[in-house]
């Protein structure tokens, strides 16, 4: 189904191996780098520095995705960025600013739709040496990434009344369900939970759930469960260890994946990958642009770095991924170069320097 997906968290983590045909040698690969806004450029530079220290065979092709109006007045991503992604197939993206209630639409949504990035994969695993109230989290959220409430279909019926359409289709629902089961099998995981509200939205979520049930029938080696979204949230904060792989429509995935990130320390330490059609994949940090600290050397590059590690595994560069990942987690465990969001006083450059030093010492 998918060309290959990789988890990115280290010690004790079961690593995904490719279950498609796309494997790459140590020959340098060109990756489209979208630095993003706010702190994006500095955390992107940190990743580049660490990759250079690790001698990772990656060439970076920097691209801008500032919204522009295309023919007909609709917003599109710049042609140069489209061409870069179409050519390279693999991208790494920093945070992008989205205007609230006005201006251009979310560039994240435009990227997903442009490249049919249908599955967002976000692993959440407790980090050794970084204490949170939940020490044994080890789960993955898989979010349908192209439709649902985020389809962008809204209109005003009359003044003061706005209608937003939730679009759910059988092909998209079946595709992400199949992806979730393939992912679980490749991971050596044993349970897929479909998250829904089909008791209320009987047609839309009902269709999503129907597709999940039908796919489950073809994957009897993986246990299948279904659970209401509100019940999942309740149980998640009580005992997240009861969950394994969760698959859900777009909006639910946006909310629940952030909740799960909070269990392990926040969005600053949570990686993310978006798997698309035709071999395209974009890996990204999912935190905000943090304009209040932009340019002050205070940003935490961990989330983007771990997403880049996912990217390396997706490319079959497992040794480089292992070394960078190990160096990052050893730095966090030691606690002497933590940025402010992780409870430390170090700067972005301090963390980057320490990870770069360690990665050169790891064989």
- Give the tens place of pLDDT for each residue, 345-361: 999 999 999 999 999 99
The single residue listed with the structure tokens 């969760």 is 246
Q: Is the four-CA dihedral 220, 222, 223, 228 of positive or negative sign?
A: negative
In angstroms, the CA 275 to CA 60 distance is 20
Whether residue 132 has pLDDT greater than 90 = yes
Range name among 66-80, 122-136, 279-293 with the lowest pLDDT average: 66-80
In angstroms, the CA 66 to CA 155 distance is 25
In angstroms, the CA 221 to CA 216 distance is 9
pLDDT at 3: 34
Task: Answer yes or no: are the C-beta atoms of 150 and 250 closer than 8 Å.
Answer: yes
Residue 76: its H or E element:
strand 75-76
pLDDT at 100: 57
Of the two residues 75 and 30, the one the predictor is more confident about is 30
pLDDT at 19: 31
Q: What is the mean pLDDT of residues 78-98?
A: 92
Whether residue 326 has pLDDT greater than 70 = yes
- Give the tens place of pLDDT for each residue, 271-301: 999 999 888 999 999 999 999 999 999 999 9
pLDDT at 6: 33
Q: What is the mean pLDDT of residues 128-157?
A: 92
pLDDT at 5: 37
pLDDT at 103: 53
Whether residue 263 has pLDDT greater than 50 = yes
Of the two residues 99 and 11, the one the predictor is more confident about is 99
DSSP summary character for residue 126 = P
Nearest alpha-carbon partner for 186 in 226, 225, 142, 241? 142
- Give the tens place of pLDDT for each residue, 174-185: 999 999 999 999
Whether residue 11 has pLDDT greater than 50 = no
pLDDT > 90 fraction of the chain, expressed in percent and rounded: 77
Report the mean per-residue pLDDT for the chain: 89
pLDDT at 38: 95
């Amino acid at each position: 189904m998918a060309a290959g997906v990789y988890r990115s968290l280290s010690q004790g983590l079961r690593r995904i191996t490719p279950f498609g045909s796309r494997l790459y040698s140590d020959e340098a690969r060109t990756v489209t780098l979208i630095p993003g806004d706010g702190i994006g450029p500095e955390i992107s530079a940190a990743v580049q520095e660490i990759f250079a220290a690790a001698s990772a065979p990656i060439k970076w092709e920097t691209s801008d995705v500032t919204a522009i109006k295309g023919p007909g007045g609709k917003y599109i991503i710049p042609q140069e960025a489209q061409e870069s992604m179409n050519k390279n197939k693999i991208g790494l993206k920093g945070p992008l600013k989205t205007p609230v209630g006005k201006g251009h639409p979310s560039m994240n949504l435009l990227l997903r739709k442009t490249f049919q990035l249908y599955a967002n994969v976000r692993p959440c695993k407790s980090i050794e040496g970084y204490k949170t109230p939940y020490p044994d989290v080890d789960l993955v959220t898989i979010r349908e990434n192209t439709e649902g409430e985020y389809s962008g279909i809204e209109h005003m019926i009359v003044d003061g009344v706005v209608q937003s359409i939730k679009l759910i289709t059988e092909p998209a629902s079946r595709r992400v369900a199949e992806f979730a089961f393939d992912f679980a099998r490749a991971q050596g995981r044993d349970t897929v939970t479909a998250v829904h509200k089909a008791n209320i939205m009987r047609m839309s979520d009902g269709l999503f759930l129907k597709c999940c049930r039908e796919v489950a029938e073809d994957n009897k080696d993986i246990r299948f469960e279904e659970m209401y979204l509100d019940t999942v949230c309740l149980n998640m904060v009580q005992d997240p260890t009861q969950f394994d792989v969760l698959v859900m429509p777009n909006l639910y995935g946006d909310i629940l994946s952030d909740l799960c990130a909070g269990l392990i320390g926040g969005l600053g330490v949570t990686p993310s990958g978006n798997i698309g059609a035709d071999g395209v994949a974009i890996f990204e940090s999912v935190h905000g642009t943090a304009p209040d600290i932009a340019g002050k050397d205070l940003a935490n590059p961990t989330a983007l770095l771990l997403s880049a590690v996912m990217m390396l595994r997706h490319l079959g560069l497992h040794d480089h991924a292992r070394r960078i990942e190990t160096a990052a987690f050893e730095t966090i465990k030691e606690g002497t170069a933590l940025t402010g969001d992780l409870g430390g006083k170090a700067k972005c450059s301090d963390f980057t320097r320490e990870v770069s030093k360690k990665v050169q010492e790891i064989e």
